[in-house]
Amino acid sequence: MKISNLIDFKTLVAVLACTVLACKSKTEQIDVAEVKSTVNQPPKTGSFGDQGDGTYINPILNADYPDSDIEQVGDTYYMITSKQHMSPGMPILESKDMVNWTNVGHAFDSLSWAPEYNWDRMNGYSFGVWAGDLAYHEGKWYCYQIDYQHGLMVTTAKDIKGPWSKPIMMLPKAKVLDDPAVFWDKETHKAYVIINTAGKQKDSDNKIEGNENRIYEMSWDGTKILDEGKLVYTGMGAEAAKIYKIDGTWYIFLAQWTMGDKSTKPGVKNPKNDRKQIVLRSKESIYGPYEVKTVLEKGTVFNNRSASQGALMQAPDKSWWYMHQLIQNDDIPFQGRPQCLEPVNWVDGWPIIGVDEDNDGIGEPVKQHKKPIDGYPITAPSSDDDFSSSKLGFQWEWNHNPRNTHWSLTERPGWLRLKATKILPNEKGYGPNINEWTNNDGSDSDFWRACNTLSQRIMGITTGTAVSKFDISGMQPHQLAGFVRYGGVFNLLGVEVDQNGKKHLFYMSPMAEKTKGPELTGSNLYIRTTNNSDQATYEYSLNGKTFTKFGPTFTIAFGKWTGDRLGFFSWNEKEDAGYIDVDWFTYDYDGPKAAKQ
């Protein structure tokens, strides 16, 4: 919030107050004098994350941060997570205590290696950046990932915050599917990468059902593959490997499906199926032979959500911990794939993850537990923004690579300007492809072919309220702009300008059905969206004090392997014309937020 603008400051306080006081009437007035200042507030806790009493509640990172990998350097833990077609790609977070995480950057400034990720194609939905591996080797950072459409690549940097190099392609998509993980063995001076090659190299001699996982030798600088790879494991849905060498013993962590109902595929929502974490163990060689044990299954605390795929960590007191994602096999995964932190207990040389609640020798996730490391403040990924910086905050990502000539933080300092670009054609080669990673609901709608949609993740699955202030005076005929919630489906509330220049409020459903609202004649528009579990609503205001509901109560949903997001859109149906300015964005949710100064 720009403190120099006292009117806007009071307005924002009023908006936040409406959330705090849970307005019931659509025209209820807020008394600013009753509202406490939003500055100098202590850190906030909620239904997940750091509880402020030495414990945490899982998921500790209750948002769409999937496919984590973690590397510790010094006293800091660094996490990467995938984000498919979003740009910039591969978010990077850091933590001092494994519980409180903040954004520090992205490994890919843009998805530069293929044209389908650009604003003039937007044809890469669900692809792009998948699960990766983060490593620190001889003073250099490495980030590996496999784009399903293009193959294995690596980017490097001297500083975790970048700049990161142009990606180097190491193996083609014809040989590999996903989920690389690397290991440098200093004892033998050899480097390795393990990859899920699925069935791409499978021959008739391998009768085991499922994915093949191969280990390749790499050059010591981590940028070249030196051999044809060796098969070390095959299993149903087996992927997301991580390699560790602990006290001379090799451990390979893998996620693998168990099928309680074979009428569905691995990954399809089905409570009878479970994605478990298995561990391969060998005292002889990285190539085995390996013993195999299941060390984590879904348990009872997260309904039917399976638990697997993550990274092993060690605290300063030598205790072991495991970060993992929850995945989509229950009814309410609309926030995406969040991260959970589990204690690890070593039993007979096996890392049992979580707590063995049913005494079967396999761990299950914990809901609440003592923190691994004390003494660090409550914090969280960034959310609120007053757009006073000349660079976008790390919480924001574009839907595909943006058209950089059509957005600005400097043309009107303190505001985000989104210029409208003509919508892309509704024909082959533009917008979503329908495949097993996408959903067909509204996929031919204009929204999916409108560039420069900017958004951030929602947090949690209980309640949340986001508010933004817009200046709509720069809008032009045939332009549509405003606020969007989207993941698997989209719901819009904004302004449409007709051919005569008149502005009307509108709501758009996931199937692109529009509900026309009142004519708007002023410059300012405030939009608020609130969700209670997966049910959400929109409200609008012309003064930031009196809010009126518009549009239906709608259901937010996971899809295209993406959780629900909050953000802004701007497009034009006829030409490149018009813009909308965003003054600020605030987001209050039922979880941890850092102290405000």
Dump pLDDT digits (tens) for 64-114: 999 999 999 999 999 999 999 999 999 999 999 999 999 999 999 999 999
Contact 157, 164 (CB under 8 A): yes
Whether residues 319 and 430 fall in one domain: no
- The answer to whether residues 345 and 234 belong to one domain is yes
Place of tokens 């608020």: 528
Q: Quick check: 495 and 482 in contact, CB under 8 A? A: yes
Q: What pLDDT is attached to residue 23?
A: 38
Structure tokens at 355: 């707590």
For residue 30, the model assigns a pLDDT of 37
* pLDDT number for residue 15: 38
| Residue pLDDT, tens place only, 353-373 | 999 999 999 999 999 999 999
Band (pLDDT 50/70/90 cuts) for residue 595 is confident
**Closest by Cα among 461, 485, 438 to 331:** 461
Segment 430-451 mean pLDDT: 78
| Other residues' Cβ atoms within 10 Å of the Cβ of residue 43 | 16
* Assigned token pair, 477: 């005929």
> Are 32 and 54 part of one and the same domain?
no
6: pLDDT strictly greater than 50: no
Confidence of residue 284 (pLDDT cuts 50, 70, 90): very high
In the numeric block, which tokens belong to residue 396? Answer: 């924001």
Instruction: With residue 52 as reference, give the H or E element that holds it.
Output: none
Q: Sorting pLDDT into bands at 50, 70 and 90, what band is 441?
A: low
376 within some domain: no
- What is the distance between the alpha carbons of residues 86 and 84, in angstroms, rounded to a whole number? 6
Position 32 pLDDT exceeds 50: no
Check whether residue 213 and residue 303 sit in a common domain.
Answer: yes
CATH number at residue 575: 2.60.120.200
With bands split at pLDDT 50, 70 and 90, how would you rate the model's confidence at 143?
Answer: very high
Read off the CATH number of the domain in which 217 is found.
2.115.10.20
pLDDT at 436: 61
Nearest to 432 by CA among 510, 537, 536: 510
Q: State yes or no: cis peptide before 88, omega within 30 of 0.
A: yes
Confidence of residue 332 (pLDDT cuts 50, 70, 90): confident
Among 244, 245, 248, which residue's Cα sits nearest to residue 181? Answer: 244
* Cβ 189 vs Cβ 183: under 8 Å: no
Same structural domain for residues 487 and 410? yes
Q: What is the pTM of this model?
A: 0.92
Query: Which residue from 234, 319, 304 is spatially nearest to 272, judged by alpha carbons?
Result: 304
Number of domains forming the structure of the chain: 2
CB 351 within 8 A of CB 295: yes
Residues 100 and 201 in one domain: yes
**Residue that terminates a domain, selected from 349, 370, 391:** 370
Domain containing 17: what range?
A: 6-40+382-589
The yes-or-no verdict on residue 561 having pLDDT over 50 is yes
- What does the pLDDT read at residue 331? 75
114 and 239 part of one domain: yes
Q: Which two tokens stand for residue 474?
A: 């720069």
pLDDT reading at 504 higher than 50: yes
For the cut 70, the answer to whether the pLDDT of residue 327 exceeds it is yes
Which of 245-254, 320-329, 453-462, 564-573 is least confident?
320-329
Q: What is the mean pLDDT of residues 124-135?
A: 96
Type of residue at 493: L
- Average pLDDT over the chain reads 91
DSSP classification of residue 436? T
pLDDT at 559: 83
Do 458 and 435 belong together in one domain? yes
